[in-house]
């Protein structure tokens, strides 16, 4: 049995166009690969393409040829895609716009399939590629319409597999304050609204699954090992694990330490005392500070480097990561570091000045802590379609 693939998510790099993304390949991605080699077949990339880039690659063979040549030149290979942010992920203000368009909007389906068609031309036949996507949407949404579009996506992915021999697994990524907030919610939605309402359930299960982001689970207080075991027991594909930590304040009286991380670009959902207090963003926490100052523990959706923790009042959920990694089987799903927040850290706090060095340090930390046992809690955990 081979150990899990380890990579990092490319959404940390601003790249709105194909040309910009090719620049990322030749620049920071190649630098990470040189410092953290991925073996004889090249360093595995976690790729983020905007909708515009995915469309360019899906419909232009010459563009795919350029990418293929660049990958070979830099000794890189594509291991997984992030098709969550449609575009503009490094705009001055992103916040809840990252959830648009949602899964009721045909543009979301088009973007996802463009990315799948493109990657199917860039990886060898027989490859399984997880594609993580948003948890349906944010606020309200037509769940039946979303379920129908997911079924359409899975059927299109099956046609791509028949043509190219590449298995794309579309993975819903539950996130705090979204339509699917927990892994258990996601499994219930897939089984109750997507799989059970179709005659081609086996096909849907092959191409639809879950992306488990450990930061998100920590914020809402969902036990990751129980969630993984539940997915396995229900035969819901675990497409990949996003290995990430969140901020943890261990005494609400020190709230200003947490509020120092309030920034304008990303949404930082916050949960205190196992759900007793909740806020959509740190700005709301500031407005309701009297409530949050009484909390014993506050966790905030602010991805921090895996290697960073502090035993004082403000630290991270690194200990939870270590617990999960220690229990994973040796043949586990792909592990993707997703600390996309480097650009919004206060320079005075930032634990690594250079982005490439920070990414390599995270990958090294994960390599050192990943599981080497044959079995974990709940039995084998695999992303391989049945």
Task: For residue 286, count other CB atoms closer than 10 A to its CB.
Answer: 15
Q: What's the confidence (pLDDT) of residue 380?
A: 47
The predicted model scores a pTM of 0.95
Q: What is the pLDDT of residue 352?
A: 95
Helix (H) or strand (E) segment spanning residue 209: strand 208-213
Domains in the chain: ranges and CATH: 6-247+303-369 (3.20.20.150)
Instruction: Quote the pLDDT of residue 1.
Output: 55
* Strand bridging mode 298-304 / 270-272: antiparallel
pLDDT of residue 39: 57
pLDDT confidence of residue 197: 79
Q: Do the strands 298-304 and 245-249 form a parallel or antiparallel pair, or are they unpaired? A: antiparallel
Per-residue model confidence (pLDDT) at position 370 = 85
- Environment class of 196 (CB within 10 Å of its CB; exposed 0-12, middle 13-18, buried 19+): exposed
Mean pLDDT by 10 residues, the chain (386 residues): 88 98 97 82 95 98 97 96 98 98 98 98 98 97 97 98 98 98 98 92 98 98 97 97 98 98 98 93 98 97 98 97 92 94 96 96 94 45 47
């Amino acid at each position: 049995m081979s150990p899990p693939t380890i990579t990092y998510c490319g959404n940390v790099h601003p790249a709105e166009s194909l040309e910009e993304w090719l620049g990322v390949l030749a620049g920071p991605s190649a630098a990470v690969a040189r410092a953290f080699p991925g073996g004889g077949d090249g360093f595995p990339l976690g790729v983020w393409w905007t909708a515009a880039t995915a469309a360019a690659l899906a419909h232009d063979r010459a563009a795919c040829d350029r990418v293929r040549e660049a990958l070979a030149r830099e000794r890189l290979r594509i291991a997984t895609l992030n098709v969550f942010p449609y575009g503009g992920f490094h705009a001055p203000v992103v916040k809840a716009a990252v959830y648009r368009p949602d899964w009721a909007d045909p543009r979301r389906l088009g973007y996802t399939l463009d990315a799948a068609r493109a990657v199917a031309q860039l990886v060898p036949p027989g490859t399984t590629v997880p594609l993580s996507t948003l948890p349906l949407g944010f606020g309200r949404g037509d769940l039946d319409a979303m379920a129908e579009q997911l079924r359409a996506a899975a059927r299109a992915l099956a046609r791509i597999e028949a043509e190219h021999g590449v298995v794309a697994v579309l993975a819903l990524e539950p996130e705090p304050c979204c339509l699917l907030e927990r892994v258990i919610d996601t499994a219930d939605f897939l089984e109750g609204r997507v799989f059970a309402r179709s005659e081609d359930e086996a096909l849907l299960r092959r191409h639809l699954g879950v992306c488990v982001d450990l930061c998100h689970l920590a914020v809402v207080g969902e036990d990751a090992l129980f969630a993984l075991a539940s997915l396995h027991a229900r035969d819901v594909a675990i497409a990949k694990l996003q290995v990430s930590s969140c901020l943890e304040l261990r005494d609400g009286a020190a709230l200003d330490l947490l509020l120092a991380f309030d920034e304008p670009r990303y949404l930082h959902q916050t949960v205190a005392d196992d759900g007793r207090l909740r806020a959509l963003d740190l700005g709301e926490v500031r407005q309701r500070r009297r409530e949050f100052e009484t909390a014993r523990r506050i966790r905030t959706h602010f991805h921090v480097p895996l290697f960073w923790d502090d035993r004082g009042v403000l630290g991270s959920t690194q200990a939870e990561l270590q617990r999960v990694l220690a229990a994973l089987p040796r043949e586990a799903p792909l592990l993707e570091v997703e600390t996309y927040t480097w650009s919004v850290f206060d320079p005075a706090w930032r634990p690594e000045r250079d982005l490439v060095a920070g990414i390599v340090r995270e990958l090294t930390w994960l390599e050192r802590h990943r599981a080497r046992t044959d079995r974990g809690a709940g039995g084998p955990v695999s992303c391989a379609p049945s």
